Each structure stands twice: as structure tokens, then as C-alpha cells.
Copies of this chain bind each other. A is one copy, B any other.
Amino acid sequence: MNVGFIGLGKMGQAMTRRILGAGHELTVYNRTKEKTAGLAGAGAAVAETIAQACQGREVVITMVSDDKAVEEVTLARGGIRDALAREAIHLCMGTHSVAAIQALAQAHREAGQRLVCAPVLGRPDAAASGQLGIVAAGPPDAVKACEPLFQAMGRRTFGAGPRHEGAAAIKLTNNFVLGAAIEAMAEAFSLVRKYGVAAQVLFDVMTDALFAAPAYKIYGKIIVEESYDKVGFMTLQGLKDINLALAAADQARVPMPTANNVRDRLLGAIAHGDGEKDWAVMAREQNRASGIE
């Protein structure tokens, strides 16, 4: 396929190499041009403008950091909306609010273009080895047209139906469930600690059976070792994502008390200077609230 790609952060770098590796024709754009250098050497064309990245493409992928960025590259003058051909596809793979996705959907609909919302699950190393999970929503024909790209980048694609924002909701919700698991562990570890039990014992019990899954093994281990400085997912980033989930809940009129707890815990951690630690530092904040240390 003839593909444009906007946004060459760590994830974008890994994803574009998978696309090139699968033999697709690729044109890349990044606001700071230095990041395109390696890809040019690997066979990608480099666009000088967003418009160039869009013109003549069947699909243009965006993998940018937040709502503001995706709205700018899409809706600003000379952006994707202005430059992409009718019927061509904007495949939006970043993590965005449902409101942003709804705004993009409307803009593309009015411009006769198609939108596929397909946020990914996994980190740069999973992206590099084509092992991402991909949650895709949008018009069925458009989603289907993107399948060769999903196969290049991912291990499994989850079809989330025709409403674009459904895929965003799934992504944000999955992150919330993770935040809730960390919060639960934070409360749990502080409780047993007050009864003189070593954290490792609770970790062993949990991960032996009922909770024998990465969410508990990875984040439980960080809590047991208090290794919050090795940052997998940063507290400030966790707050951003939880706020997106709560904004989705607000729009949909869904009370989410546990999401509120996660948000408050993250706010407390940031207030105590732990904003740039791994978000498992929620456990340290819970300890503070319990008078431990």
C-alpha cells in the first residue's frame, strides 16, 4: 500500500520500520525533521509538509502524543483534512480522548474522507517486533482496507465495531483497569504491612493463581522492590490517561468511583514530588496516607 506516517516518536519509529519491512511504500513526516533521518536510509520518502505526507496516499497514519497534536495535524490549515484525497483513510493510532476522535470523525466525514481509530497496546519493543495489540474501529470497509498494515505492526487485531470512538474507549478503559489493579495492590500491600507480613508473601499469594498475569507480576514486583525509578509508565502520563477515561465517563454519564480513586492517588503522588516516577509509586502514596514511613 501507499502509506503516509506522521509522528516519529519511539512508537512511530518502530511501527514505520515494520511497515517498510512488509514492503509497503512509505512517506514519513515529523515536526522535527531529524527524526526522519534513519527512516530515509531505510527506504522511506520524507515529506516536508503534512500535506506532502497525505497527497497520493491511500492511508495516512498518525501516531502523535496527545489530543492537541492530533487535532493540529488533522484540522489546522494544510493539515490532513485539507490534503487527504476523498475516500482515503486517516488511520489514527495514538491514544486520544473520545471527544477528539469524535471531532476528527466529523471533520473527515464532512471532507468525504474515512477515519479508522486504532490505538495500540504494547510498548516500543512490542512495536519493533510486530507484537502490538491493535483495537480498530470505524467503517467496516475502511477497517478491512487497513488489515495489511495491522498485520505488519501487530500480533492481534480486536474489532471494536463501527463507532470510531469505541476503540478509544476500549484503550482508555484498559488503561483504567490497570490503574485500578495498581491501586488495589497499593491498598493491599499497605494493609498486610501493618500486620507485619512481608510484601513478598502477598505478592506470591496473588500471582500464584488468581492474579497470575503481567499486570500483577510486573507492577506488584515494582511495589515489592520499591523500584519506582525504573520508569515503565510515568505517573504524570498515568494521570493524563485516567483523566481521558474520566472525560469519556463524563460524556457518557457513567459514575466511575474507582477511576476517581486512581486519579486522587496519582494527584497525591505528584503533589509529593513523584510525578516522574513509575506510576506504581501509587503504592508509596498509599503508604504515606497510612502513616507508613
> A interface vs B, CB < 8 Å?
98, 121, 133, 135, 137, 156, 158-161, 163, 165-166, 169-170, 173-174, 176-178, 180-181, 183-185, 187-188, 190-192, 194-198, 201-202, 204-206, 208-216, 239, 243, 245, 248-250, 252-261, 263-265, 267-268, 270-273, 288-291
In this complex, the member of A180, A194, A256 whose beta carbon has the largest number of chain B beta carbons within 10 angstroms is A256
Please state if A197 and B254 are interface contacts (CB–CB under 8 Å): no
A201-B159, A212-B214 known; A187 vs B192 contact (CB < 8 Å): no
Please state if A191 and B205 are interface contacts (CB–CB under 8 Å): no
User: A201 contacts which chain B residues (CB < 8 A)?
Assistant: 135, 158-161, 170
Residue of B nearest to A273 (CB): B291
Q: How many copies does the complex hold?
A: 4
- Judged by DSSP, the binding face of A is helix
* In the bound complex, CA of A71 to CA of B186 (Å): 32
* In the bound complex, CA of A202 to CA of B183 (Å): 20
User: A263 contacts which chain B residues (CB < 8 A)?
Assistant: 250, 255, 260
